[in-house]
Amino acid sequence: MSEKLVIIGGTAAGLSAASKAKRLDPSLEITVFEKSGYISYGSCGLPYFVGGMIESPDDLVSLHVDEMREKRGIPVLIHHEVTHLDSVKKTVTARNLDDGSEAVYPYDKLVIATGASPIRPNIPGIDASGVYFLRNVEDGIRLKTASVPGSTCCIVGGGFIGLEVAEELTNAGLKVHVFEALPRLLPFLPESFSQIVLETLEKNGVTVHLGAKVEAIKEEGGKVTCLVSSTETVACDMVVMSIGVVPNSALAKEAGLKLGIKGAISVDDSMQTSDPAIWACGDCAEARNSITGKPCYIPLGTTANKMGRVAGSSVGGEKATFHGVQGSMVTKVFDCYIAATGLSLAQAREAGYDAAECEIKQRDKASYYPNHRIMNLNFILDTVSGRLLGAQGMGSESAAIRIDTLVAAIDRGMTVSEVNDLDLIYAPPVAPVYDPILIAASQAMKKVRK
């Protein structure tokens, strides 16, 4: 008799798991439950849909429900919310959000890929009409519909997503304010980087409020009128809340599964939870940091896909282990690309390294070649072993892509001296004869203890 595999969540992690498991074991009888009306969408593209660069939400979708069923043999029930998990009876209860009906589904194996939800701060006015979150396609459609050119939007939270939305709403013709509670933007970056991001935003017409803790959203007739922060009160037509996410681990918690950092579901390297019939993957689950070896919670799109594949392999009977998360990330704020991988200085010190940082500014092409730009590059290193622990880069698109070279270097535990020996590509239109990576490495070598 074929085994029943139930998957809760139909985006990156859940569908990666479903597809991989089905390929390995075509006899699996799979059911995927997805709360929203969309599956398999690139949620990282939502800001660009909101801003109008991407026209239809369908463009964000890689596989539709009928394609999942017909091409991959995987039925997905959309608008179905799993409301209860009984890990003893091995059943889930799902509610059809269209008609309110509930049904109980048995499983032999279960994959929890419930993702994460935006943090909803407990402040006055948070429920007013005109307060938006951006997590799924429906959120995106609501926000896009509301984003009328000429209106004013306050964005709460100056992280990657907040800044992407700031760029996109500005491009869409809105007047944008960003409120960041901390004294600078993106504090895992060096201060000079934060300053450049700030200047880039201001140059493009975004007003940034730093050290501004949001205290209330004022409304009239249920409609937002202004945002009150610890420093300023700004009149506005809408508010976008973007202060981070929390893992959707309530079902897991209810079923008694072990939880870890920030309440994310605890898993081993095969994505198996503390219940051997249940796997978890994506933004609802913990992962291991590949540098420190310790559990961490860094919810990102690539990671969700990869964790999903590993869960699917494991469910399908193939041994697979997740290599871990190195915290690689990138974004673009107008013409300023920002990328990072590995540990920040603070994280490295927290992890027990005698860490230092080494920051350089260098042209990204030969000095005499037109249109070169300055790349800011910061290395975090262990001054005892000389090992590279983290890197942050900023500048052109090619400056951001350079961080991938350091992803590989950090993955391999390379020292800054070994990085300095790399035979990187060179031609005047692409790089200077000593690439910024080599300059940073040779400077960082001076910080290694003799």
Shortest reach from residue 227's CB to its own copies, in Å: 27
CA distance 421 to 248: 45
CB closer to its own copies, 120 vs 412: 412
* Contact status: 103 vs its own copies (CB under 8 A): no
Site for its own copies in 276-305 (CB under 8 A): 290, 300-303, 305
Q: Which stretch binds its own copies (CB under 8 A): 219-227, 274-282, 355-363, 418-426?
A: 418-426
> What CA dihedral angle connects 278, 284, 285 and 287, to 10 degrees?
150
Pick from 114, 341, 378, 415: which binds its own copies (CB under 8 A)?
341
Pick from 96, 151, 385, 405: which binds its own copies (CB under 8 A)?
405
Distances in Å between the alpha carbon of 20 and those of 16, 23, 74, 271, 321? 6, 5, 11, 14, 14
Q: How many residues touch its own copies (CB under 8 A)?
A: 67
Site for its own copies in 61-80 (CB under 8 A): 62
Site for its own copies in 125-164 (CB under 8 A): 160
Shortest reach from residue 115's CB to its own copies, in Å: 15
Q: Is 44 a catalytic residue?
A: yes
Pick from 99, 423, 446, 450: which binds its own copies (CB under 8 A)?
423
Shortest reach from residue 373's CB to its own copies, in Å: 12
Longest dimension (CA), the chain: 71
Tell me the per-residue interface mask from 345 to 384 with its own copies, x by CB under 8 A, - otherwise. ---------------------xxxxx--------------
Q: Which stretch binds its own copies (CB under 8 A): 91-99, 189-197, 203-211, 332-340?
A: 332-340
Pick from 422, 443, 445, 447: which binds its own copies (CB under 8 A)?
422
* Contact status: 446 vs its own copies (CB under 8 A): no
CB closer to its own copies, 78 vs 329: 329
Pick from 48, 133, 179, 379: which binds its own copies (CB under 8 A)?
48
Residues involved in catalysis = 44
Residues that bind its own copies (CB under 8 A): 12, 42, 44-45, 48, 53-54, 59-60, 62, 160, 290, 300-303, 305, 323-332, 337, 339, 341, 366-370, 397-398, 400-409, 411-412, 414, 418-419, 421-431, 433-435, 437
